[in-house]
Amino acid sequence: MPFPMQRLRRTRSSRALRSLVRETRLSPSDFVYPIFVTVGEDVRNPVSSMPGIFQLSINHAVAETRRAQELGISGVLLFGVPEEKDEAASGAYDPEGIVQLATRAIKDAMPEMIVVTDVCLCEYMSHGHCGVVEKGTGEILNDISLELLARTAASQAEAGADVVAPSDMMDGRVAAIRSELDNEGFQNTPIMAYAAKYASAFYGPFREAAESAPAFGDRRSYQMDPANAREALLEVELDIEEGADIVMVKPALPYLDVLHRVKEATNLPVAAYSVSGEYAMIKAAAQNGWLDERAVVLEALTGIKRAGADIIVSYHAPEVARWLS
Ligand code: PBG
């Protein structure tokens, strides 16, 4: 005697029945698409470890965002690749910085499209760390970094960002950003906090794309140990207390258990960032003919949604949106 689910699979209308009882459904609107914006005119630099991804000058970033909008993708997440870097990350909070300019251009062209801006210093620091580094000791100075992060977020909100997304993992940054946003008149700008961000080797290709590999040391003094899950819940709790509106887990695939636990622990929207290394792995295998790219991407992203993601940040977003339509 067949079990109930088998009975559903075996009727003549099994396709429709399978669809009727399907628990998880991807939609283009689940997605936020990361874009690397760079200076210059008409630039489209391929990122070698991320086939299909480019550093784009503002005109191309606007065009790429338009394409994403037409596919039904909810928003873009902007990362800046500035011309110059220094030890104060000045480019991060420059009102005429690359992300600020790109945000203005995209919002002017597409007021309805959600623009999320990355709040971090690593892309703008000559040493590539996410915070201010103390000379001599090489230590990351948490509290001084908070001021710069808060200024960065406010300048992005000023430029029209709909959501700011701190990815630096400094302690107390959500509170610092919230208070600066409130003081500057951006009480309604939500914060999507990278609450549980692991010190992951899966960020490798991103550091090529954003030109943000640390020149010395690593990020383990501020990002989380991949071995810890309860710590993620603690980080999430603290970020919520400090004023996070959306909490994020990053990377996604190696941390589906964490994603699931975070989803159970909060009623706030939960985002998952399927990072550059997850993208690169699938692309590389597909290019070798070792995996069926479309099937694998849809399976991986469905798994991320099933585990609890309300929002998925993914470099696959445009191709997925096309497959889904
Ligand atoms: C910067 C930042 C990183 C990513 C997003 N924001 C890299 C890092 O922490 O080194 C990684 C995203 C990806 O790999 O796709 N703080």
- Give residue 203 CA to ligand 1 midpoint distance, Å: 6
Q: Which of 85, 107, 135, 250 is catalytic?
A: 250
> Is residue 36 lining ligand 1, measured as CB closer than 6 Å?
no
Q: E strands of the chain, at which residues?
A: 31-38, 44-46, 54-56, 75-81, 114-119, 132-133, 140-141, 163-166, 192-197, 246-250, 270-274, 311-314
Between CA 248 and CA 26 the distance in angstroms is 18
Report pLDDT for 215.
Answer: 87
Q: Which pLDDT belongs to residue 304? A: 98
> Quick one: the chain helix, strand, coil %, rounded to 5?
45, 20, 35
Superfamily of domain 25-324 in CATH is Aldolase class I (3.20.20.70)
Exposed, middle or buried, 239 (CB in 10 Å: 0-12/13-18/19+)?
buried
pLDDT at 219: 85
What are the residue boundaries of the structural domains of the chain, listed by start? 25-324
What's the pLDDT at 218? Answer: 87
Backbone angles phi, psi at 173, to 5 degrees: -75, -30
The reply to whether 283 belongs to the active site is no
- For residues 114 and 109, give the distance between their C-alpha atoms in angstroms, rounded to a whole number: 12
pLDDT at position 222: 86
Q: What is the pLDDT along the chain (325 residues), one digit of tens a residue?
A: 888 888 877 777 788 888 899 999 999 999 999 999 999 999 999 999 999 999 999 999 999 999 999 999 999 999 999 999 999 999 999 999 999 999 999 999 999 999 999 999 999 999 989 988 998 888 889 999 999 999 999 999 999 999 999 999 889 999 999 999 999 999 999 999 999 999 999 999 999 888 888 888 888 888 999 999 999 999 999 999 999 999 999 999 999 999 999 999 999 999 999 999 999 999 999 999 999 999 999 999 999 999 999 999 999 999 999 999 9
Q: What is the pLDDT of residue 169?
A: 87
Dig out the tokens for 152 from the structure. Answer: 């960065």
Given a contact cutoff of 8 angstroms between Cβ atoms, the answer to whether 283 and 274 are in contact is no
Q: What is the C-alpha to C-alpha distance for residues 126 and 45, in angstroms, rounded to an integer?
A: 21
Tell me the whole-structure pTM to 2 decimals: 0.96
Query: Which atom of ligand 1 is nearest the CA belonging to 213?
Result: 10
**Residue 227, helix vs strand vs coil:** coil
Q: Annotate 127-156 with DSSP letters as a single string.
A: T--SSEE-TTT--EEHHHHHHHHHHHHHHH
pLDDT of residue 87: 93
Phi and psi of 251, rounded to 5°? Answer: -60, -175
Find the catalytic residue in 85, 107, 197, 305: 197
